[in-house]
Chains A and B, each alone.
Chain A
Amino acid sequence: MQVVGLTTQQEVYVASKERKFRINEMLKIVDESLGTPLGEVVETQAYNRYIPLSIDKGFVDKGVIASLQSIGYNISEDEINIAKVRLLKEAPYPIKTGSNVVSPEFSEVKSLLVKERPEDGLVLGVIKGTEEMGQEMDEELKDIAPLFEDEEVIPQIGVPFNFKVKAMHQYPHIGIIGGSGSGKSFGMRVILEELMKLRVPTIVFDPHFEMDFSTKFEKLADKYANDFSNDFEVYQIGQTVGVNFSDLSTKDLSDLLAAASSLSDSMINAVQSLHHKRDSLLSFKGRLEDLQKAQELGRKRLERDVKSGAVEGDLKEEYQMYLELLDAYGNLPPSSVSGLIWRLNRLEREGLFSHSIDQIEVGIKERKLVVIQGPIWLLQVFATYVLGTLYRKRRDYKDAQYRQQEVDYFPPFVIATDEAHNFAPKGYDAPANKVIKEIAQEGRKYGTFLILATQRPTLLDETVTAQLNTKFVFRTVRASDIETIKQETDLTAEEAKRLPYLRSGDTFVSSAIFGRTLAVRIRASKTESPHTENPFEELNNHSEAEDDKLYQAIVNSLPIDSNDMMSKLEEINDRLDVVLERNILADKLDDLAEKGKIVARKSIFGKIYEEIE
């Protein structure tokens, strides 16, 4: 290997006859006067001067190459490999052409690649291009990041990518960018697994109901597996966690109601007038319903009935109260009031108000990973509420600590979410926007960190994007997103060009912590999503199970004569948990016969269904 052609202070070309170059691999350039600088291969090419790409001239066809081989000359050995190598650090003057180039020893590049011991950091995968150095590594770096390739788990080859999570104190927040199928969710899963390993308190908002860590990844050997069952909790909004209504600010409440269905200006106005501090669900809802009732009855009728003595006792008191409500809020349009009631009911039906976020708090304090699942519309508002509450607690604790006051401990924590562009969108105001922006800008101070995954970085709030000090960039096809990535990361033009072609699970890590972009293959995950079953396979499995159930129900009644089905129908229905009618049973029997599970024999009187011999 040697440096050829024109060189600059930043880039050189290296050529070799024998050795093929791998993209992203590190090379050492033996130019003594510059202190043997290191470089990374950013582009590779191979060329054979005897097999040129010529459109107008002769083309060396396969037959000729084969004949040449038969006379003992292998033309492919004339191949020349060329690599474009970018220096890691700019040299003071251009590299000497003709300099020898060698592969560096692991010890020479260790400080560049390994920033943390594996047990203290997030072991997320393998740095690409380090395959040849794998053998010389320290023992503790070996065999900790098995890879998943072509549907199979293979051993780790190369230097593990170990993300120094402690450095987030200085360079906070992580972005995960990639289109669907790029390995983005998978990367998120691996990051979360590693956070659990370190017992970092984490809240995960999971709109896809996929972040469950109880299923071991089937193809992974047992020696790599981890039991995370005590390290995480999964809660569903409305089922296990919800909103404590009396904690809600008026703004929170209108956001919540807006999440159910968007609010008109007069509805927002109505919420602002009707919601009082420390209102419970009961008191607020009662006020709304009473006002609705009062508006239905009308001031005239109420006043007349009270005056004329048509109502007495409790009812009279009730009417008095209606009148007071009308005095206070009578100008609110009745349609807004009923609209609010409808929205409130919807949220209530979701169970949102029947639970609290106490378990979430407990989980965080126990250094667990807490997954919150829910439909995206609800998740957004709920996140606003949860993050607002927890972030305030952490902030209060830290602020009090600065002031040297005694307060209850509240731990630092990490917030992770997929579809982050829904939580903090650019250009319009979503409920969670404010709190996420605040954490993005100030979270470092309080030890609150974001991990935001999105397939549309272009749609993510720019203030937030700018604060993501580490970005994992997976395969991205959309040109506008690639443009955004180029602006927001230190990815080079060559790397950006590769983005649409990355394999699933391959990623560029652009991190202030490493100071340059690394190409990484994410390791095999230790757990898998509960719903990785293909829905189409699921469909088949389901009908097979159904068929089987039916078969078990009828098998003892065989043979069944189509003319005399009624006699068997009852006993069959007894065995099934549904009641079939005669026609339907006939159809189903035909169906089973068609699938070859029973035989339908034709006779002069009709069909007879029999067991297969």
Chain B
Amino acid sequence: MKMLLTEDLKFLLKDCNDKLKEKYENQSNLGKKDLRRLISKMAEFISLNRMKKVEIDKLIKGRPIIGVDGSVNKQGKVYPHYIELLQALAKSTDRSQSGIVRHDIFSPMIEKDKQNILKKVSIANNKVDEDSKVYAQEVAGKIRSSLLASLEVLVAYDSILKWNPSLIMMDGSLARYKIQAEEEWEELVELALKREVLIVGVIEEIGTHDLSLALGDDLPNKMVDMYDRELMFGLLEIGEMMLFADPKDQLKKAFVRSSRDPGVIGIDLLKEQSSVIKDVASLVYSLTPEAGRGIPIWLDIVDEEVRISNKMMEMIIDNYLDPTLKQRLFHSKRADRVY
């Protein structure tokens, strides 16, 4: 038997369901119409069309489109005994060009990375009080994210030099790169603006709560702390975009319902390039399968290519790391579980 479904567990689940239901289905919540009316004070609703070939040609002017994505593989489980392989890929729609790839390795067992972690931990812990003490593993995670972000930004940068694309589609919010790889990002933005390369971030999982912050007290009590994805769920029609009026952090943001899935995706663009956001959003919409989860297929293709399977990772590690070292440092007992 997989799990014992006891009365206790049943009760807990039912209780959880009731509480959520009360919050999200309560009559005091705003209806779709009212919510749209409220939002329209700070954002614009725009209908998008699937683009025809001529429209796409006009937008990209014969230059390729680049997709950028990154992947992380981890061997070992618990801090600090693991090693991570980072990889970023910029792939051109021009099939004759092979992708631009950059790699990096991160492991708390490596002296350089370890020092880096310790330094950041001590800086953070000197500033804050006891309650919000930061832990080394969190810091390590952040460093790794930022390493990956900079790899991605770097391949995007390389791709402009190499291919002179019309547009770079990044997997994830541009805000993330701006925060996590600040220096490289600045350089990328500068080059992109100079060479007139559009950069768009496509966000699959929206983690912001910009709407409730902006609407504040206009929202009923129970909705004031709702995240954007909760408010946006089912609010847009297929092919509809909600465009924020004011750029935040130098970025122009929008939510788009690009498939039959009632959840939305986010896109963001450099503020300087915000005039074409409708075209870019239409392109994203055109490249998204109607029955899919809302992400343009081009990013899925890039993602497929950059992803390193766990089996592959194991093979690489086996080939290049000394077996005794591997067993001693990175081997996880979990991997040997029988069931």
Contact surface of A with B, Cβ cutoff 8 Å: 49-50, 57-61, 63-64, 66-68, 70-75, 77
- B292 adjacent to A72 (CB under 8 Å): no
Question: How far, in angstroms, from A71 to B92 measured CA to CA in the complex?
Answer: 10
Chain A residue nearest to B52 (CB atoms) is A70
Of A70, A73, A74, the residue contacting B53 (CB under 8 A) is A70
- B286 adjacent to A77 (CB under 8 Å): no
Of A63, A73, A77, the residue contacting B298 (CB under 8 A) is A73
Chain A residue nearest to B64 (CB atoms) is A72
- A64 adjacent to B301 (CB under 8 Å): no
Q: From residue A76, how far is it (CB to closest CB) to chain B in Å?
A: 11
- If A58-B289, A60-B289, A71-B65 touch, whether A50 touches B95 (CB-CB below 8 Å) is no
Of B95, B259, B290, B291, the residue contacting A73 (CB under 8 A) is B95
- A74 adjacent to B95 (CB under 8 Å): yes
Candidate in A57, A59, A64, A75 with the most chain B CB atoms within 10 angstroms = A64
- B287 adjacent to A58 (CB under 8 Å): no
Q: From residue A184, how far is it (CB to closest CB) to chain B in Å?
A: 47
- A71 adjacent to B287 (CB under 8 Å): yes
Question: How far, in angstroms, from A68 to B296 measured CA to CA in the complex?
Answer: 10
Complex contacts, A67 vs chain B, CB 8 Å: 50-51, 56, 283, 286-287
- A60 adjacent to B53 (CB under 8 Å): no
- A68 adjacent to B290 (CB under 8 Å): no
- If A49-B304, A50-B304, A72-B93 touch, whether A59 touches B289 (CB-CB below 8 Å) is yes
Question: How far, in angstroms, from A221 to B127 measured CA to CA in the complex?
Answer: 96
- B287 adjacent to A64 (CB under 8 Å): yes
Of B53, B57, B291, the residue contacting A59 (CB under 8 A) is B291
- A72 adjacent to B94 (CB under 8 Å): yes
- Would you give 9 A-B contacts (Cβ < 8 Å), ordered by A? A58-B293, A60-B289, A60-B297, A61-B290, A67-B286, A70-B56, A72-B60, A72-B65, A73-B298
Question: How far, in angstroms, from A45 to B90 measured CA to CA in the complex?
Answer: 31
Q: From residue B23, how far is it (CB to closest CB) to chain A in Å?
A: 29
Q: How many residues of B contact A (CB 8 A)?
A: 26
- B298 adjacent to A68 (CB under 8 Å): yes
From 51 to 110 in chain B, residues with beta carbon under 8 angstroms from any chain A beta carbon are 51, 53, 56-57, 60, 64-65, 93-95
Question: How far, in angstroms, from A58 to B289 measured CA to CA in the complex?
Answer: 7
A-B complex: 4 closest residue pairs judged by Cβ atoms: A58-B292, A72-B93, A67-B286, A73-B93
Q: From residue A50, how far is it (CB to closest CB) to chain B in Å?
A: 6
Q: Is B159 an interface residue (CB 8 A)?
A: no
Complex contacts, B301 vs chain A, CB 8 Å: 50, 73, 75
- If A58-B291, A61-B289, A63-B290 touch, whether A50 touches B297 (CB-CB below 8 Å) is yes
Q: From residue A555, how far is it (CB to closest CB) to chain B in Å?
A: 65
Complex contacts, A75 vs chain B, CB 8 Å: 297, 301
- B65 adjacent to A64 (CB under 8 Å): no
Chain B residue nearest to A59 (CB atoms) is B291
Complex contacts, B57 vs chain A, CB 8 Å: 70
Q: Is B288 an interface residue (CB 8 A)?
A: yes
A67-B286, A70-B56 known; 18 new pairs, CB 8 Å cut-off, are: A50-B301, A57-B292, A59-B291, A61-B291, A63-B286, A64-B289, A67-B51, A67-B287, A68-B297, A70-B51, A70-B53, A71-B65, A71-B93, A71-B298, A72-B94, A72-B95, A73-B65, A73-B93
Chain B residue nearest to A73 (CB atoms) is B93
Chain B residue nearest to A49 (CB atoms) is B304
Q: From residue B180, how far is it (CB to closest CB) to chain A in Å?
A: 28
- A to B contact number (C-beta, < 8 Å): 67
From 256 to 292 in chain B, residues with beta carbon under 8 angstroms from any chain A beta carbon are 259, 283, 286-292
Q: From residue A239, how far is it (CB to closest CB) to chain B in Å?
A: 72
Complex contacts, B292 vs chain A, CB 8 Å: 57-60
- B287 adjacent to A68 (CB under 8 Å): yes
Complex contacts, A49 vs chain B, CB 8 Å: 304
Complex contacts, B51 vs chain A, CB 8 Å: 67, 70
Chain A residue nearest to B95 (CB atoms) is A77
- If A49-B304, A50-B304, A60-B297 touch, whether A71 touches B56 (CB-CB below 8 Å) is yes
Q: Mark B223-262, 1 if CB is under 8 A from A, else 0.
A: 0000000000000000000000000000000000001000
Question: How far, in angstroms, from A58 to B293 measured CA to CA in the complex?
Answer: 7
Complex contacts, A66 vs chain B, CB 8 Å: 53
Q: From residue B164, how far is it (CB to closest CB) to chain A in Å?
A: 14
Question: How far, in angstroms, from A70 to B51 measured CA to CA in the complex?
Answer: 10
Q: Mark B289-329, 1 if CB is under 8 A from A, else 0.
A: 11111000110110010000000000000000000000000
Candidate in B56, B290, B297 with the most chain A CB atoms within 10 angstroms = B297
Complex contacts, B93 vs chain A, CB 8 Å: 68, 71-73
Complex contacts, A58 vs chain B, CB 8 Å: 259, 289, 291-293
Complex contacts, A60 vs chain B, CB 8 Å: 289, 292, 297
Candidate in B283, B298, B304 with the most chain A CB atoms within 10 angstroms = B298
Chain B residue nearest to A60 (CB atoms) is B289
Chain A residue nearest to B67 (CB atoms) is A73
Question: How far, in angstroms, from A63 to B53 measured CA to CA in the complex?
Answer: 11
- B50 adjacent to A63 (CB under 8 Å): yes
Complex contacts, B95 vs chain A, CB 8 Å: 72-74, 77
Complex contacts, A50 vs chain B, CB 8 Å: 297, 300-301, 304
Question: How far, in angstroms, from A64 to B125 measured CA to CA in the complex?
Answer: 50
Complex contacts, A70 vs chain B, CB 8 Å: 51, 53, 56-57
Q: From residue B155, how far is it (CB to closest CB) to chain A in Å?
A: 18
Complex contacts, B304 vs chain A, CB 8 Å: 49-50
Question: How far, in angstroms, from A64 to B289 measured CA to CA in the complex?
Answer: 6
Complex contacts, B289 vs chain A, CB 8 Å: 58-61, 64
Complex contacts, A61 vs chain B, CB 8 Å: 289-291
Candidate in A71, A73, A77 with the most chain B CB atoms within 10 angstroms = A71
Chain A residue nearest to B169 (CB atoms) is A71
Question: How far, in angstroms, from A70 to B282 measured CA to CA in the complex?
Answer: 13
From 23 to 68 in chain B, residues with beta carbon under 8 angstroms from any chain A beta carbon are 50-51, 53, 56-57, 60, 64-65
Question: How far, in angstroms, from A262 to B65 measured CA to CA in the complex?
Answer: 85
Complex contacts, A68 vs chain B, CB 8 Å: 93, 287, 297-298
Complex contacts, B60 vs chain A, CB 8 Å: 71-72
Question: How far, in angstroms, from A68 to B287 measured CA to CA in the complex?
Answer: 6
Complex contacts, A64 vs chain B, CB 8 Å: 286-290, 297
Q: From residue B255, how far is it (CB to closest CB) to chain A in Å?
A: 19
Q: From residue B202, how far is it (CB to closest CB) to chain A in Å?
A: 14
